[in-house]
């Protein structure tokens, strides 16, 4: 069931990207989408806990073959993109994504994987 508070965040995390998956006990799993290599989790985070959870996830993101994983979180007009070494505060508008996309490409993430979708509650499909 989706979280109801306007202050709560939803986020997208690749399950296999976490060194310590026990962090998932601190969030609500709202949806799961299984792909060939990865499982995308749509999670819910209470607004009061968001900064602490973002930081715990950031610290747990793997780097494989020199390329980091990332996670992103969103609510209303906010989009937070978390890489192991950097965090970007953006909006759901694609025109604001350039700093995170440029950084992601500079650390080896393919451009087609830097779409930060969904990034609005109304765009969620799973």
Q: Using 50, 70 and 90 to split pLDDT, how confident is the model at 5?
A: low
The per-residue pLDDT for range 65-83, each reduced to its tens digit, is 999 999 999 999 999 999 9
Q: How do the domains of the chain map onto residue ranges?
A: 9-118
Residue scoring higher pLDDT (83 or 47): 83
Closest CA to 30 of 1, 73, 72: 1
pTM: 0.93
Contact 45, 73 (CB under 8 A): yes
Q: What would the two tokens of residue 79 be?
A: 């989009």
Average pLDDT over residues 53-72: 97
Look-up of token digits 């609005």:
120
**Beta strands in the chain, from DSSP E residues, in sequence order:** 9-14, 28-34, 39-45, 63-64, 67-68, 71-75, 78-82, 87-90
Q: How does the average pLDDT of the chain come out, rounded? A: 94
Average pLDDT over residues 112-120: 96
CA 72 from centre of chain: 2
């Amino acid at each position: 069931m989706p979280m109801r508070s306007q202050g709560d965040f939803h986020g997208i995390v690749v399950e296999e990207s976490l060194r310590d998956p026990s962090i998932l006990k601190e969030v609500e799993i709202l949806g799961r989408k299984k792909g060939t290599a990865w499982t995308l989790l749509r999670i819910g985070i209470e607004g009061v806990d968001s900064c602490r959870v973002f930081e715990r996830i950031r610290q747990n993101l793997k780097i494989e073959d020199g390329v980091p994983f990332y996670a992103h979180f969103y609510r209303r007009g906010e989009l937070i993109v978390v890489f192991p070494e950097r965090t970007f505060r953006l909006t759901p508008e694609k025109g604001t994504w350039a700093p995170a996309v440029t950084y992601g490409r500079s650390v080896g993430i393919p451009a087609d994987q830097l779409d930060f979708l969904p990034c609005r509650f109304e765009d969620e499909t799973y």
